[in-house]
Structure 1
């Protein structure tokens, strides 16, 4: 059994924005044409226009602008307001997905779900706060290496002090958070050597956002977890949206939260 859920934004009791409508707006932005966007989504122009008109009716500002004449022969483009709505939707949708993931951790065990929901939400400056389950504890001397299971089949190793394991009451099977600063994740395009002691996780580059000398990289792991990394532009290594890439993380840089 799997807990799942769809995310919609409503306004005045009516459906306003959903994944399909956002995709339509994004395709209009890419093609500059409602007709072309409709064809890509295998829907009629009439159906596409009805969706746009429905959104426009509920929106505080127009979502599209019609272009006439000129070198390109006219077309359609999104307004700045529409682009803001798209960004807002994606952010809310990601938070909704994280919420659903917390439910999914419980599987078909309602008591475990109750424990998950009773956990205090963390508030830290770290961009990555990943729900996980403690699968293994290996202690040598003053340090313990923990193996954490993320969503899907992805795993992480974290090295903390043995005293921290004792003080936190960590036991196999307990629910934890793997907390990682975005600056402690290195995203590379070439698969690292297999003899590295670092965690190496495979994923797909979802977004690249450049600001000044920095670049924020969102990497969606094969199991579904989203990692956010912050690097200098010089470390970009020809990364592109949609390509396979690898997250390299030292076990020493992963903090454990409960």
Structure 2
């Protein structure tokens, strides 16, 4: 059979994710816009998520990736060091070689790839509608029994994945990205608590929707009970798309 082989890759250091396409895009935006906060807004992500990503990269890096800029009209900001610029250049070269490698495999009749990701929540969905506004692609997803979710990713990411309406995709959600509420919220699913594990500061929940989807949630320690009905809410920016 003939098909298109696709994949994504990360550079790891000490067993931890160091550089990926999203983090490289964040660094490019910081260099372009002059601050982490502006870069985060441009990518429709929270400042904390952007800061955490930068902190992880700096902690794993052999040299500083960013340096502070003092003064100026905006009161200072951040910019890439020469080492940070080289990292981006090296990553993009590796990404090109990786793409070439995948394309070379398409000459084979059959290949099976196994990809491990840290996010435990992976939901099979269908793309009902795609809309574009500036650099943001909004993807309207349907699950079983007409359940729906909305995802927002960058236009460049959507183009790389070659997404189109009617495609079957995987919605990928980190357990820490799910918020729980007693009443329905935007982009939420009604669920039932089936398992609870408590630590000193956190609770790990297993939730199930009426049509059988399972969600794993890591949240601050809570007082929920088995069989409690709650709503699992996910910000559209926290729903990644896999193909």
Note if 1:226 corresponds to 2:214: yes
2:195 paired residue number:
207
Distance in 2 of aligned mates of 1:120 and 1:187 = 34
Note if 1:127 corresponds to 2:112: no
Distance in 2 of aligned mates of 1:150 and 1:120 = 25
Distance in 1 of aligned mates of 2:199 and 2:207 = 18
Distance in 1 of aligned mates of 2:220 and 2:166 = 37
Q: CA deviation at 1:240?
A: 1.3
SS at 1:152 equivalent: helix
Q: CA deviation at 1:153?
A: 2.2
2:63 paired residue number:
none
Note if 1:249 corresponds to 2:197: no
Q: CA deviation at 1:223?
A: 2.2
1:73 paired residue number:
none
Distance in 2 of aligned mates of 1:121 and 1:225 = 22
Larger Rg over CA atoms: 1
Uncovered stretches (5+) of structure 2, i.e. residues with no partner: 1-110
Note if 1:216 corresponds to 2:208: no
Distance in 2 of aligned mates of 1:119 and 1:225 = 25
CA offset digits 1:31-68 (Å, max 9, x no partner): xxxxxxxxxxxxxxxxxxxxxxxxxxxxxxxxxxxxxx
Tell me if the contact between 1:154 and 1:223 (Cα under 8 Å) persists in the aligned partners.
Answer: no
Distance in 2 of aligned mates of 1:119 and 1:206 = 34
Q: What TM-score results when the alignment is normalised by the length of structure 2?
A: 0.51
- Counterparts of 1:1-258 in structure 2, within 5 Å, are 120-188=113-181, 190-192=182-184, 198-233=186-221, 236=222, 238-258=223-243
SS at 1:252 equivalent: helix
Two-structure CA RMSD over aligned residues (Å) = 2.0
The count of residues paired between Structure 1 and Structure 2 equals: 134
- Going from structure 1 to structure 2, the CA distance change for 1:215 and 1:129 (only over 3 Å counts) comes to same
SS at 1:240 equivalent: coil
Tell me if the contact between 1:137 and 1:172 (Cα under 8 Å) persists in the aligned partners.
Answer: yes
Distance in 2 of aligned mates of 1:165 and 1:247 = 25
Distance in 2 of aligned mates of 1:242 and 1:162 = 40
Q: CA deviation at 1:119?
A: 7.3
Q: CA deviation at 1:249?
A: 0.7
Q: What TM-score results when the alignment is normalised by the length of structure 1?
A: 0.48
- Going from structure 1 to structure 2, the CA distance change for 1:158 and 1:239 (only over 3 Å counts) comes to same
Q: CA deviation at 1:141?
A: 1.4
Distance in 1 of aligned mates of 2:125 and 2:224 = 28
Uncovered stretches (5+) of structure 1, i.e. residues with no partner: 1-117
Tell me if the contact between 2:184 and 2:190 (Cα under 8 Å) persists in the aligned partners.
Answer: no
